[in-house]
Amino acid sequence: MMCEQTGQEIDWDKCPPASEDFPDIIHDGMNIYNSLGNRVYQDVGFVGKDFTNLERLYDLYQIDHYEKSFLMKLMLFLEHRDVDSSQKAIKAAYDKAKRK
């Protein structure tokens, strides 16, 4: 770790959580999100996930009815973050090409 190299004491409150710190439902949600197809267009970039197979993935991961709402909120949060990142990358590439 970086703290060991610099000789500083480790402050565990500042350390980000490890994947083992999250409950299984979060792992299932991440796996389901990553299993969904991407909707990508040439000029626009990533526009979101394809939720067509979501119910099939819920069945595959044996997600209970009461967990589906929570997982949908999690996946929409992740999707929004990924869309924003894609839009920023497309805009940066467009601005760079425009300067030349």
Q: Distance of CA 80 to CAs 48, 64, 72, 90, Å?
A: 8, 24, 12, 15
Report the DSSP beta bridge partners of residue 38.
Answer: 49
Burial 38-53 (b: 16+ CB within 10 A, else e): eeeeeeebbeebebee
- Residue 18, pLDDT score: 86
- Residue 37, pLDDT score: 96
**Helix 65-99 vs helix 24-35: angle between axes, to the nearest 10 degrees?**
50
- Residue 61, pLDDT score: 96
- Residue 26, pLDDT score: 95
Counting as low any pLDDT under 50, the low residues of the chain are none
Asked if residue 41 lies in contact with residue 87, where contact means CB atoms within 8 angstroms, the answer is no
The predicted-structure confidence for 59-75, as pLDDT tens digits, reads as follows 999 999 999 999 999 99
